[in-house]
Amino acid sequence: MPSTAAAAAAANQPDELIRRLRSGDGAVKLKALRELKNQIIGNRTKKLSYIKLGTVPDVVGVLASSVSIDPDPGSGSSLIVESAAIIGSFACGVDAGVKAVLEAGAFPHLFRILSNPNEKVVDTTARSLRMIFQSRLAPKYDFSKNENADCLFSLLNSDNENVTGLGASIITHSCKTIADQKILSSAGVLQRLITLLNGSLYQREASLEALTAMLSSNSAVISNFVDLDNGRALSSLINLMEDKSPRTRLLAITCLIVIGRTCSSYLQDIELKNKLILILVELLEEPDRVGDEVPFALANLIVDREDLQRLAFEANALDKLCNFLQRETLQPKRFEGLLLAIAELCSRLESCRSKFFSLKVLNLVINSLKHDAADVRTVACICLRNVTRSVKKLSAGYFMNEMVVDPLIQLLHDSSNSVQVAALSVISNIVVDFANRKSIFLRCGGIKELVRLSQSMDPTLRLNAVLALKNFVFLADNSSKECVLAELTVSTLVSLICDPEPKVQEQALAFVRNILESGIDSIEPVFTEDGIIINAVGRQVRNALDLNVCLEGIYALGNVATGNELHKEAVMHQILEPQVNGPSQSVLMNFLQGNNSQLRVGAIWCLINLTYPDGPGTSSRIARLRDAGVIGQLKKLADDPCLDAKFRVKTALAQCANNNSCAK
pLDDT digits (tens, 9 = 90+) for 516-532: 987 888 999 999 999 99
**Amino acid identity for residue 531 in this structure:** G
Q: How far apart are CA 559 and CA 514, in angstroms?
A: 9
| pLDDT at residue 76, rounded to an integer | 63
Give the model confidence (pLDDT) of 21-63 as tens digits: 888 888 899 999 999 999 999 899 999 999 999 999 999 999 9
Both ends of the chain: CA-CA distance in Å? 122
Asked whether the predicted pLDDT for residue 216 surpasses 60, the reply is: yes
Dmax over Cα atoms in the chain, in whole Å? 122
Asked whether the predicted pLDDT for residue 9 surpasses 80, the reply is: no
| pLDDT at residue 73, rounded to an integer | 43
Give the model confidence (pLDDT) of 258-292 as tens digits: 999 999 888 888 999 999 999 999 999 998 999 99
pLDDT category at 585 given cuts 50, 70, 90 is: confident
CATH class of 10-139: mainly alpha
User: Burial level of 469, CB count in 10 A (0-12/13-18/19+)?
Assistant: buried
Give the model confidence (pLDDT) of 448-473 as tens digits: 999 999 999 999 999 999 999 999 99
| pLDDT at residue 392, rounded to an integer | 86
| pLDDT at residue 664, rounded to an integer | 42
Q: Which residues contact 597 (CB under 8 A, 6 or more apart)?
A: 640, 641, 642, 644, 645
| pLDDT at residue 74, rounded to an integer | 45
Question: Under the phi-then-psi rule, with left for phi > 0, alpha for psi from -120 to 50, and beta for the rest, what region is 397?
Answer: left
Are the CB atoms for 132 and 101 separated by under 8 Å? Answer: yes
The mean per-residue pLDDT over the stretch 159-186 comes to 95
List alpha helices for 92-218, DSSP H: 95-103, 106-113, 119-133, 146-156, 161-174, 178-186, 189-196, 201-215
Asked whether the predicted pLDDT for residue 104 surpasses 70, the reply is: yes
Give the model confidence (pLDDT) of 326-368 as tens digits: 987 889 999 999 999 999 999 999 999 999 999 999 999 999 9
Name the β-bridge partners of 586: 578
The mean per-residue pLDDT over the stretch 391-396 comes to 84
Q: Note the residue count of the chain.
A: 664
pLDDT category at 4 given cuts 50, 70, 90 is: low
Residue 640's nearest CA partner among 574, 606, 594, 590 is 594
| pLDDT at residue 3, rounded to an integer | 52
| pLDDT at residue 72, rounded to an integer | 47
| pLDDT at residue 580, rounded to an integer | 63
pTM of the model: 0.89
Asked whether the predicted pLDDT for residue 11 surpasses 70, the reply is: no
Are the CB atoms for 551 and 602 separated by under 8 Å? Answer: yes
Q: How far apart are CA 647 and CA 659, in angstroms?
A: 19
The rounded percent of the chain whose pLDDT value lies above 70 is 95
Q: How far apart are CA 273 and CA 467, in angstroms?
A: 37
The mean per-residue pLDDT over the stretch 605-614 comes to 93
Q: How far apart are CA 485 and CA 476, in angstroms?
A: 12
| pLDDT at residue 66, rounded to an integer | 85
| pLDDT at residue 435, rounded to an integer | 64
Asked whether the predicted pLDDT for residue 1 surpasses 70, the reply is: no
Are the CB atoms for 578 and 589 separated by under 8 Å? Answer: no
The mean per-residue pLDDT over the stretch 215-229 comes to 94
Q: How far apart are CA 404 and CA 368, in angstroms?
A: 12
Asked whether the predicted pLDDT for residue 2 surpasses 80, the reply is: no
Are the CB atoms for 483 and 524 separated by under 8 Å? Answer: no
The mean per-residue pLDDT over the stretch 404-409 comes to 96
Are the CB atoms for 87 and 106 separated by under 8 Å? Answer: yes
| pLDDT at residue 69, rounded to an integer | 58
| pLDDT at residue 113, rounded to an integer | 92
Give the model confidence (pLDDT) of 535-574 as tens digits: 999 999 999 999 999 999 999 999 999 999 999 999 999 9
| pLDDT at residue 243, rounded to an integer | 96
Asked whether the predicted pLDDT for residue 75 surpasses 60, the reply is: no
pLDDT category at 662 given cuts 50, 70, 90 is: very low
pLDDT category at 84 given cuts 50, 70, 90 is: very high
**What are the two backbone dihedrals, phi and then psi, of residue 578, each rounded to the nearest 5 degrees?**
-65, 150
| pLDDT at residue 423, rounded to an integer | 98
Q: How many CA atoms lie within 13 A of 199 on its CB side?
A: 24
